[in-house]
Amino acid sequence: MPRPHPSHDLTLRLDAMTYGGAALGRADGKAIFVTGGLPGEVVRVTVEEDRARFARARLVEVIEPAPERVTPRCPHFGWASTSCGGCHWQHIDYAAQLRFKTAIVREQLQRLGQIPDPPVRDIIPSPALWQYRNHAQFHVTPDGRLGFLAARSHRVTPIDQCLIIEPVLQEWLQAQQQVDHTGEQRLSVRASNLPRLISNVAFQVSPESFFQVNTALIDTLVDQVLAKLELSPTDTILDAYCGVGLFSRFIAPQVAHVIGVEASASAQADFAINLAGFANVEFHLGRVEQLLPTIAAHLDAALFDPPRAGCGPQVIEAVIARHIDRVVVVSCDPATLARDLRQLLDRHYTLIEVQPIDLFPHTYHIETIAVLQRAKE
């Protein structure tokens, strides 16, 4: 097959889905990433970015479609420069999305984490496939319209509807089609009517604070994390990157002591309100890599829910130095998770289980819970 060059058309058979949303094919041994393609398809593409080890291509024609290909529901979905970049996989049947995400987690751990046979469970599906997001970040066009960024672009695509945001946010969007936000480039909007969660618990979440976006799966996420921590009444548990206290609120009734660490001041204020009824909880404001080595208490287990960048080497080294027996990592990026796991596996830890959860249907994003146990030296 001819070697790819920019603006050169190729006919490819695609083999797999990759983290980032594109399908993978090969031409003359070079990896070609095709946005909008599906494994098993024969497609015609135009190479738009050609690098030494890989190329990115634009889908021109699907010659042989895969059975998993479906018609996207949203009129704003697509891969043109004017299309919305919020969703990546509306053209894929949902059952296939789940298979691809489970396979991607396994592949990332094998390739980046050098874990030959990672114990990855089948992904937990979302009970809500549409209207599931309780939070959205809209961008503002120069003429005052709201929209989302196009894929791999700073161009704002104006939209009048979004099929994955909750109905209350859709109503707000429709009422704000022409807005006067002088100097504003981005608006963060969260539904204020979040349902009560496990045990009928309500949470305060300030506009600047992080909270899980898929309301329908928050209970499942909390249940999974608590089960994997294997809590006992005498435990002292670290909740790192604790945010507004989502996990701490349900850990606290089951253990002797909870220590929350978080760098966001707004989340600190929310945490204080959400955990006000518990005397066995303490909070440290600051960066985890700086504060974890200074905490005097013995830690029986630790929970980490870092941002997309992952925990990073300094945090993992602090975990290793403290000899924490059980570690649970909630990750939204399998690539940085693979890096962090590799560092722990090299230093007396065993990977017990990896459980993906589909918090983000119709996108390539994947939430994953990893469980590690420290071996006796």
pLDDT tens digits along 224-268: 999 999 999 999 999 999 999 999 999 999 999 999 999 999 999
Highest mean pLDDT among 82-91, 116-125, 174-183, 368-377: 116-125
Average pLDDT of the residues in 29-45: 96
Element (H, E) at 339: helix 334-345
Select from 172, 168, 249, 173 the least CA-distant residue to 205.
249
Predicted pLDDT of residue 245 = 97
Q: Is 252 left (phi over 0), alpha (psi -120 to 50) or beta?
A: alpha
d(CA 50, CA 60): 17
User: 115 with 229, same domain?
Assistant: yes
Domain that holds residue 244: 100-126+194-374
Q: What is the pTM assigned to this prediction?
A: 0.93
Residue of 74, 84, 242, 332 marked catalytic:
332
Is residue 86 in a domain? Answer: no
Is residue 234 in a domain? Answer: yes
User: 344 with 202, same domain?
Assistant: yes
User: 215 with 264, same domain?
Assistant: yes
Predicted pLDDT of residue 266 = 96
User: 174 with 200, same domain?
Assistant: no
Is residue 154 in a domain? Answer: yes
| pLDDT tens, residue by residue, 257-295 | 999 999 999 999 999 999 999 999 999 999 999 999 999
| pLDDT tens, residue by residue, 108-159 | 999 999 999 999 999 999 999 999 999 999 998 888 889 999 877 788 999 9
Look up the CATH number of the domain holding residue 55. Answer: 2.40.50.140
Is residue 71 in a domain? Answer: no
Q: What is the token pair recorded at 158?
A: 């104006």
CA distances from 109 to 10, 268, 272, 358 (A): 31, 33, 36, 18
Residues 141 and 190 sit within 8 Å (Cβ to Cβ): no
CA distances from 55 to 9, 24, 29, 37, 49 (A): 12, 10, 11, 14, 5
Look up the CATH number of the domain holding residue 114. Answer: 3.40.50.150
User: 161 with 302, same domain?
Assistant: no
Q: What is the token pair recorded at 273?
A: 């309100």
User: 366 with 266, same domain?
Assistant: yes
% of the chain surpassing 90 pLDDT? 82
User: 182 with 316, same domain?
Assistant: no
Residues 310 and 338 sit within 8 Å (Cβ to Cβ): no
User: 221 with 352, same domain?
Assistant: yes
Predicted pLDDT of residue 183 = 59
Predicted pLDDT of residue 1 = 46
Predicted pLDDT of residue 258 = 98
User: 243 with 290, same domain?
Assistant: yes
| pLDDT tens, residue by residue, 79-99 | 888 899 999 999 999 999 999
d(CA 257, CA 265): 22
d(CA 311, CA 161): 36
332 an active-site residue? yes
